[in-house]
Amino acid sequence: MNPDPKPQPIALVSRSKYGHYKPNADLETGARCIEMLKEAGYEVEPDYKCNWLIDTFPMIFRMFPGSCPPVTIVSQNSYFEPHFHIEIGRILRPLRKEGYLFIGSGGGVHVSLLFLEKLFRWWKYYCHCSVIRVTN
């Protein structure tokens, strides 16, 4: 829900490859996702300081090299079991019929998760899902 997110630097990739690419935060869809999850009984809150991390930004700028479509990033707590995350997807699934694309990514797929947990204790979310509004 950061209206002006900054992408995290990508290791071993020259900034000249992605420095021109501007993230396009979809605040309207973010608010909508929060409302849908709250209506389903989930305790959710917007993060107004969230920047685009290395587990979401590289995929988006490679999939959409011309310009960034409107994107909402949903952070999920990796300490919860997979069924919890599946339920979040089920709740947000109606957006697919409106042309939204869901991309699951994040530290939840990294083999170094235990290392990250020890190294970044302040980082409470590892898994991310990008909700992208796709228009023709």
The pLDDT assigned to 127 comes to 56
SS3 readout for 12-47: CCCHHHCCCCCCCECHHHHHHHHHHHHHCCCCCCCC
Closest CA to 39 of 49, 31, 47: 31
Burial label for 100, CB within 10 Å (0-12, 13-18, 19+), is buried
The pLDDT assigned to 41 comes to 94
Burial 42-59 (b: 16+ CB within 10 A, else e): eeeeeeeebebbbbbbbe
**Rounded CA gap, 115 and 111, in Å?**
9
pLDDT in tens, 77-90: 766 777 887 888 89
The pLDDT assigned to 78 comes to 65
What are the 10-residue block averages of pLDDT along the chain, 136 residues in total? Answer: 88 87 92 94 88 81 88 78 83 91 65 44 52 65
